[in-house]
């Protein structure tokens, strides 16, 4: 479990004062690449860990060597427990947190325990449907990413039977509560071309870890890669703009439906609000607006108005008085 490893890495750092990624790898029995990523993760989380290059360099805690956790400030400990607490749904992580609490000075333990219980991650949406992939598959994917091993991935696209392909798992990104795997692919897996791809985890049907090492693109950075991969998808979600007017009382509902894709302007002469909504197509936006009835009026493009007219006629035919 990565959280357990991060705690072990931190304790090892404080015991030794200065360590190399190779020494951490040997101590925790992981690859040197994994050890380096864990050290970078501690630094990114706000722990005062820094690296020094060159002869005699390595990773150290600001302030020098320490034999316990008293070198961490209360704010730094709180930050670590706030991050780990919402994920503490496994026996391994709960055990790791208990060990860390026992290692803290007595004066800092109450704050750490309170921080670990201050946040909860709910894995379902308001309709009680799960918004995260199953834990076994997610754990297997994260383990393969950390260990740097290729996987045979079972994956089912909407409306298609599941297929299997071999991919290089490079990272897991969670967007709006939904995890995605970023992986390298090749033409042997049936892709149109080799390169980076996104796989939505709730469409993953199986994960088989191989003994083959991952081929990692030179200079690969997960955050940068995700932004590049997500940009075309976001553009498709905003491929058209529907313009119209809305009653002031409809503003809140529109905000819930469309979020950042909605722009409400100033009040018109008729007392209504100017409205602009981005979406994948005029027809899709029109269908989403249909439930607001006469509280909104689409003015353009014509395709959106035509879609609403058809929907209105269909509903009138089905529910209208005989």
Tell me what pLDDT residue 139 has.
83
**Tokens at residue 286, please?**
């029109």
Task: List, for residues 144-195, the tens digit of each pLDDT value.
Answer: 998 899 999 999 988 888 899 999 999 998 887 788 999 998 744 444 345 8
Task: List, for residues 236-274, the tens digit of each pLDDT value.
Answer: 888 899 999 999 999 999 999 998 899 999 899 999 999
Tell me what pLDDT residue 47 has.
76
Tell me what pLDDT residue 190 has.
43
Q: How many CB atoms lie within 10 A of CB 245?
A: 19
- Helix residue ranges, H only, 117-202: 135-147
- Helix residue ranges, H only, 132-250: 135-147, 222-237
Tell me what pLDDT residue 178 has.
83
Over the chain (322 residues), the average pLDDT of each successive run of 10 is 70 77 86 87 78 76 54 71 66 72 70 76 71 72 90 90 92 85 72 72 92 90 90 85 95 91 92 94 94 95 95 90 63
In 3-state terms, what secondary structure has residue 111?
A: helix
Tell me what pLDDT residue 152 has.
95
CB of 231 within 8 A of CB of 249? Answer: no
């Amino acid at each position: 479990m990565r959280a357990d490893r991060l705690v072990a890495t931190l304790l090892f750092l404080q015991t030794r004062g200065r360590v190399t990624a190779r020494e951490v790898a040997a101590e925790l029995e992981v690859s040197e690449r994994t050890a380096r990523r864990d050290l970078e993760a501690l630094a990114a989380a706000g722990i005062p860990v820094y690296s020094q290059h060159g002869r005699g360099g390595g990773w150290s805690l600001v302030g020098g060597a320490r034999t316990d956790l008293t070198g961490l400030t209360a704010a730094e400990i709180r930050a670590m427990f706030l991050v780990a607490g919402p994920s503490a749904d496994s026996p391994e992580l709960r055990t790791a947190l208990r060990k860390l609490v026992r290692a803290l000075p007595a004066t800092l333990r109450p704050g750490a325990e309170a921080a670990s219980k201050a946040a909860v991650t709910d894995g379902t949406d308001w309709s009680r449907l799960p918004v995260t992939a199953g834990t076994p598959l997610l754990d297997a994917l994260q383990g393969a990413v950390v260990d740097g091993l290729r996987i045979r991935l079972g994956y089912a696209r909407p409306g298609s039977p599941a297929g299997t392909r071999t991919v290089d798992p490079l990272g897991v990104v969670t967007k709006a509560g939904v995890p995605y795997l970023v992986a390298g692919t090749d033409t042997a897996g049936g892709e149109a071309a080799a390169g980076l791809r996104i796989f939505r985890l709730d469409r993953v049907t199986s994960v088989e870890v191989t003994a083959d090492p991952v081929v990692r693109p030179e200079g690969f950075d997960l955050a940068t890669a995700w932004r590049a991969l997500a940009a075309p998808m976001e553009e498709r979600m905003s491929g058209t703009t529907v313009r119209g007017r809305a009653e002031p009382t409809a503003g809140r509902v529109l905000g819930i439906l469309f979020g950042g894709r909605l722009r409400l302007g100033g009040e018109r002469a008729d007392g209504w609000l100017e409205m602009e909504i981005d979406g994948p197509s005029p027809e899709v936006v029109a269908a989403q607006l249909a439930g607001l009835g006469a509280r909104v009026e689409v003015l353009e493009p014509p395709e959106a108005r035509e879609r609403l007219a058809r929907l209105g006629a269909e509903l009138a035919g089905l529910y209208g008085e005989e």
